[in-house]
C-alpha cells in the first residue's frame, strides 16, 4: 500500500490509529469538494498547531445534508479524501456520515479542534466536547477570496449556461386540469420536437410548475413524482432531456394542512426560478421562460429572466393582450420556431 493510500482509512480504523499519531493531535473537518488555495493554506496553518493533523471528510450523504445544491458534492468522498491525503500537512483522513463530526470526535478524543474563521467556536458542540477532556478549540482565518461555492458559480457562469424555463401544463402537455397519471398525460403537438430544437441550440430545459393538486389532496407526492419520472424518460428518449423539474405543491386554500400555506415558490412568486438559478448556476439574463398564464410571466419578471413568452391554451388569460410578455404564440413549437429563426437568438 502506498503512503498516499495509507493516509486514508475508515472511521473505525481512524479511532484505532489516532493513538499512534504524534501529539498533540489536531482535528478538523469539512466537505473539501474542490480543493483550492484557501483549503491548502488553512490545513497548513492547522498542522502547525500540533504534532499531527486529522481531517474528517463529510461522506456524500453527509455533504448533501448541508444543502449546497442537488449536484453537490461534485466529487465522491473517496476522491476528496485522496486529494487531501496528498498534502504534506495532513497526517490522516477519515469519514463521517452525520451532519457534524461530534460522535467521531468523542471516539478519537483529539487535543485540539480547528475550524475556519467564519465559525463562532464558542457556539459549537464540538468545542464543548473537546474541552470536556481538557482539549481546546480555535478558529483559523480563511484566505479571503476563496470559496468552493463561489468557484463553482464562476465556472458555471463562464460556461454561458442558458436555460429555457418551461411551464408544464398547457406548454409541454395538454392542460386537462390536475393531470397526475401517465395515461392521462398527452404532449402538446410539436412540443417535444421544439424542446429538442432548444437543446440542440444550446439551451438547457428546466420545468417550473405549480402543482396545487398536491395541496388540494387530489393526488400524492408519489403520484406526481411517478408522472414526472415518466415524462422525463420519454423526453430523454426523444432527445429532449430535461435538466431539472421544480414544482410548487402549495396553495393557501388547500386541504392538506402542511401544504395549505403562503409560499415564495408558487407562481407568480419567483421562488422556483430563483432556486433553479442558484442550484444550477443559471445566467438568468441569457435565459427565457415560456408559460401559458400571466402568473408565469410575472414570475419570470420578478426573477430577472431575460425574456418571457406566453402561449395559448384553454385558459382565457393566455391571449397575451393584457400581460407583459415579450410576445405571444400559438404554442411552444411556434414560439421556438420564431426564437431560432433569426439573429436575435
| Residues assigned a catalytic role | 167, 169
- Tell which residue, 82, 105, 25, 95, has the closest CA to residue 56: 95
3-state secondary structure the chain: CCHHHHCECCHHHHHHHHHHCCCCEEEEEECCCCCCHHHHHHHHHHHCCCCEEEEEEECHHHHHCCCCCCCCCCCCHHHHHHHHHCCCCCCEEEEECCCCCHHHHHHHCCCEEEEECCCCHHHCHHHHHHHCCCCEEEEECCCCCCCHHHHHHHHHHHCCCEEEEECCECCCECCCCCCCCHHHCCECCCHHHHHHHHHHCCEEEEEEEECHHHHCCCCCHHHHHHHHHHHHHHHHHCCCCCCEEEEECCCCCCCCHHHCCCCCCCCCCCHHHHHHHHHHCCCHHHCEEEECCHHHHHHHHHHCCCEEEEECCCCHHHHCCCCCCCEEECCHHHHHHHHCCCCCC
Amino acid at each position: 500500500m502506498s503512503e498516499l493510500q495509507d493516509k486514508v482509512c475508515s472511521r473505525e480504523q481512524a479511532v484505532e490509529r489516532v493513538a499512534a499519531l504524534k501529539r498533540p493531535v489536531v482535528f478538523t473537518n469539512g466537505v473539501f469538494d474542490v480543493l483550492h488555495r484557501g483549503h491548502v493554506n488553512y490545513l497548513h496553518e492547522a498542522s502547525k498547531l500540533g504534532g499531527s493533523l486529522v481531517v474528517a471528510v463529510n461522506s456524500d450523504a453527509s455533504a448533501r445534508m448541508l444543502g449546497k445544491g442537488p449536484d453537490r458534492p461534485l466529487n465522491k468522498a473517496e476522491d476528496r479524501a485522496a486529494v487531501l491525503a496528498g498534502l504534506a500537512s495532513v497526517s490522516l483522513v477519515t469519514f463521517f456520515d452525520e451532519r457534524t463530526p461530534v460522535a467521531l470526535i468523542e471516539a478519537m478524543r483529539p487535543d485540539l479542534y480547528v475550524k475556519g474563521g467564519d465559525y463562532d467556536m464558542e457556539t459549537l458542540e464540538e468545542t464543548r466536547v473537546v474541552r470536556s477532556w481538557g482539549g481546546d478549540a480555535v478558529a483559523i482565518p480563511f484566505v479571503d477570496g476563496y470559496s468552493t461555492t463561489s468557484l463553482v458559480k464562476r465556472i458555471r457562469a463562464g460556461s454561458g449556461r442558458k436555460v429555457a424555463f418551461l411551464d408544464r401544463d398547457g406548454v409541454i402537455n395538454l392542460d386537462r386540469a390536475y393531470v397526475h397519471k401517465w395515461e392521462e398525460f398527452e404532449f402538446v403537438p410539436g412540443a417535444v420536437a421544439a424542446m429538442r430544437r432548444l437543446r440542440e441550440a444550446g439551451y438547457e430545459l428546466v420545468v417550473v410548475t405549480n402543482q396545487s393538486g398536491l395541496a388540494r389532496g387530489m393526488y400524492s407526492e408519489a403520484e406526481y413524482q411517478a408522472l414526472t419520472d415518466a415524462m422525463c424518460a420519454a423526453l430523454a428518449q426523444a432527445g429532449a432531456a430535461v435538466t431539472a423539474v421544480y414544482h410548487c405543491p402549495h396553495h393557501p386554500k388547500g386541504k392538506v394542512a402542511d401544504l395549505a400555506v403562503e409560499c415564495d415558490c408558487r407562481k407568480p412568486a419567483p421562488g422556483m426560478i430563483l432556486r433553479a438559478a442558484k442550484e444550477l448556476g443559471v445566467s438568468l439574463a441569457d435565459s427565457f421562460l415560456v408559460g401559458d398564464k400571466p402568473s408565469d410571466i410575472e414570475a419570470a419578471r420578478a426573477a430577472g429572466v431575460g425574456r418571457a413568452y406566453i402561449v395559448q391554451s384553454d385558459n382565457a388569460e393566455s391571449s397575451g393582450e393584457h400581460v407583459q410578455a415579450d410576445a405571444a404564440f400559438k404554442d411552444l413549437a411556434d414560439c421556438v420556431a420564431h426564437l431560432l429563426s433569426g439573429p436575435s437568438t
